[in-house]
Amino acid sequence: MFSLFSFILIGQLIFVVNSNQLRHSLANKQFIDQLTEGSYEIIHPFQLREKSRERMGIDTREHFLNTTPIQHFRQVSFVLRSSVLLNQRLRIALNLNEHLLSGGENKNEAQLFDKTAIQSEKDMEVIRLSDVENCFYQGTVIGEPGSMVTLSTCDGLWGLLAFANGSALGIWPLEGGDKGKRHPHVLFRVFGNGTECGGGGEGSNDIEGQQQEKFIKRRRKRTKKSRGKRKSEGEENLRRLRQQRLFLDIALLVNKEMQYLFNIGQPKLLEYSLNALNLADLIFKKGLNIRISLNYFALIENLNKNNSNQLLDNLLDFTINKLYKEEKDVTIYLTNLNKQKQNNYNALNVDNSVCSGRAVGFTQIYNLYGPQTAALSFAHSLGHILGLEHDLAECGCDMQECVMSGSKGQFDHFPWHFSACSSARLERKRSANQKMECLLKSSNLFSQFSPSFLCGNGQVDQGEECDCGRRDQCSDPCCDPFTCRLRPHANCAAHEECCHRCHVRPSGHLCRPTRSICDVAERCDGKSGECPPDSHLLDGTHCGLGNNGQCWQGDCVDSDEQCREIWGKGSRVAESLCFSKNGHALEYGNCGRDTEGKFVECAPENERCGLLQCHEGSASPTIPNATAFAFQFVQEERQVQCKVVTNSPLGFVKDGTSCGEGRVCIRTVCLPLAQVSPSVKCPSSGSNISQCSGHGDCTSAGQCLCFDGWTGKACDLRTPNRRTDNHHSPSLEFSSLRDISTRFVGVSDGKVILETTTLLIILLFKFG
């Protein structure tokens, strides 16, 4: 019998849903009966289109494309009005998970079983992934930081909304009615259930298990204040993990008998399985930077035996004998749970087996109402297969259970986070390259995506006019986040430097000022919203006070200025005699260290590129904690002073410093400028072979920056105007050298005898 609430519900929906159909729907009755009073409500979600703000039905199919399988919109938005559970209006923004089914994209017809052959075997039916309708979305609740949403939309909205505080809501479409704006759904509270598994025990005997025990013991010694550091530790581990994404290809096997046990058809069983895998993918993506994709899917015979260990053995045998030709990283078997059998677990797997033929596990479930149950079990088992152990008490997630918790029973929250212990353990495995090679691969997805898929990634890719990110992130009034094309009223995108209120700025508007005397200011051309490419004076152009420096990649590199930065006002580069000490492989004269830590002597041609030799200035360097030497001697009745810093990279001559005419220092080696700087040709007039007719400087953009009194593209026309480029207003300004403040650093006196007959006096200062 339906509850009174259910009868009231039917009365409310009579204008949309046939009351007899809803009342006699076995699926509706079974679903509502398993919920507790006050833990659910009936809602009528609708789809909101960004452009027109029009309220649509819940169908996300792109019917006008007429493709097989049917395509779904890549980005959608839904509104859910909760009057009982939350008493608020929820808006969710979703992106189609095009990665989920990408694992099988490269399979040709010969690699897949023919359906007639499959039926004749009577034990396995392989589903062609290319024929599967992808209606699986991932996203967030707008205005709820730290939230996540996974939904399938093949037959109504079916999935999960999880929030940062650990609470979660499930949504399930009732049978009956159409897929319009008034289609009824059940919104219900979701609680977590501990994965009762037979693996990943606490305190394993392997080395990594011992490391985790040591890690836990150290944490136990900390005060409660240390709990506040878990988030930062987890974020630091995740930052390292994000340096390289892992890709996990799954072979998913489903017990075909569940169709009859749960009285559902194959499409619904397939949707449930992929829904669970979609949620597991989002959990791994957010927590460990691992993407999950389905590479193989089949309905197989019942492998269930008397206990879980026998089931795992049967699964392993089946995988080795039947799936040895299939490309996969892990094989997972989904089946129903039979609690009447002894030693029966929700999940069991072969621990730490990834990238081997023994990487298998199974998940057993009670019903097919909530894919989150299978998703958590998937994630938990995959964690063990990757080598993650159960979290101990000190490895909580903000005082809550985590994905790898070994706790049993029901939680009052949905545990979808990995702990700092799990991320640290995976980071150790990755840094040690332990059995993780198969996951360090490029995903087929990113090489086969159509350009339109990249819309929404925040970068303007080929075929796009703009890209302002996801719909809930886009703040560009000029860009359509659905298509990554400019809106009808716009001729440029707001992020472009030469765009103002969606219109191109006039020619000559400064869009990128100079950063140094070797840089060139860029100005809008009046045709495009983009600022012209960043350009600068050619490498090797003289610059600085007295033209003692030279331009290098847009900066003026001047040894005198570098000495002032180290030794303060009044310091200058020392004489060549000081640089000759770099050829002796001493602490105060060298070209760096070799792999054994020994000082390397500079070749004669590289002496000007080793340690920077300065004189005058302050008595101590401005570099904190610097070790420095200062010595002076008399050469041909002249007093020569040499000062160096020996324990800092700042003590070496900067890259780009001149070491002779047409030569430049690069990593303590003096090289021809032509070898390390691209050749650029600027215009010149008539028979004049000099760049810019000898009356200007050439820029990296191949344009001339004319000296005062000259103009024209080749700087060959006289003019009373000041220095200009060939078609822009003045763009270079000289900046004065900054004074470097000095401060006293501790000094210890000592004496050293240098290897030279001309040395009379040595003053050695070592600053610690």
What count of other Cβ atoms lies within 10 Å of the Cβ of residue 514?
18
Average the pLDDT over each of 217-231, 321-335, 619-633 and give the range with the smallest value.
217-231
Strand 704-706 and strand 696-698: the pairing is antiparallel
CB 501 within 8 A of CB 507: no
Mean pLDDT of the chain: 77
Q: What is the CA radius of gyration of the chain?
A: 35
Tell me the pLDDT band of 481, cut-offs 50, 70 and 90.
confident
Closest CA to 725 of 698, 747, 744: 698
Percent of the chain exceeding pLDDT 70 equals 74
CA angle 607, 609, 610 (to 5 degrees): 75
Q: How far apart are CA 144 and CA 604, in angstroms?
A: 65
pLDDT for 509: 96
CB 72 within 8 A of CB 60: yes
Q: How far is CA 547 from CA 50, 248, 519, 551, in A?
A: 58, 58, 16, 10
Q: How far apart are CA 683 and CA 690, in angstroms?
A: 9
- Report the amino acid identity of residue 597: G
Instruction: List beta partners, residue 60.
Output: none
CB 404 within 8 A of CB 283: no
Question: Mean of the pLDDT values across residues 442-457?
Answer: 49
Q: How far apart are CA 386 and CA 210, in angstroms?
A: 17
Average the pLDDT over each of 172-176, 391-395, 429-433, 555-559 and give the range with the smallest value.
429-433
Question: Mean of the pLDDT values across residues 105-114?
Answer: 36
Q: How far apart are CA 97 and CA 99, in angstroms?
A: 5
CB 372 within 8 A of CB 170: yes
In tens, the pLDDT along 653-679 reads: 999 999 999 899 998 999 998 888 878
Question: Mean of the pLDDT values across residues 369-387?
Answer: 89
Does residue 732 or residue 589 have the better pLDDT? 589
CB 755 within 8 A of CB 765: no
pLDDT for 431: 62
Q: How far apart are CA 297 and CA 332, in angstroms?
A: 10
Tell me the pLDDT band of 537, cut-offs 50, 70 and 90.
very high
Q: Which residues of the chain does CATH 3.40.390.10 include?
A: 233-445
pLDDT for 135: 94
Q: Is the pLDDT of residue 762 over 70?
A: no
DSSP secondary structure letters along 687-737: T--SGGGGSEEEBTTS-EEEPTTEESTTS-EE-SS-S-BSSS-------PP
In tens, the pLDDT along 63-85 reads: 777 777 888 999 999 999 998 88
Query: Helix, strand, coil shares of the chain as percentages rounded to 5?
Result: 25, 25, 50
Q: Say what the pTM is.
A: 0.54
Q: Which residues of the chain does CATH 4.10.70.10 include?
A: 450-534
Annotated binding-site residues read 380, 384, 390
pLDDT for 467: 87
pLDDT for 53: 67
Annotated binding-site residues for Zn(2+) read 380, 384, 390
Identify the CATH number of the domain defined by range 233-445.
3.40.390.10
| Domain 450-534 class in CATH | few secondary structures
Residue carrying the six token digits 């506040």: 228
DSSP 692: G
Answer whether the bond into residue 69 is a cis peptide, omega within 30°.
Answer: yes
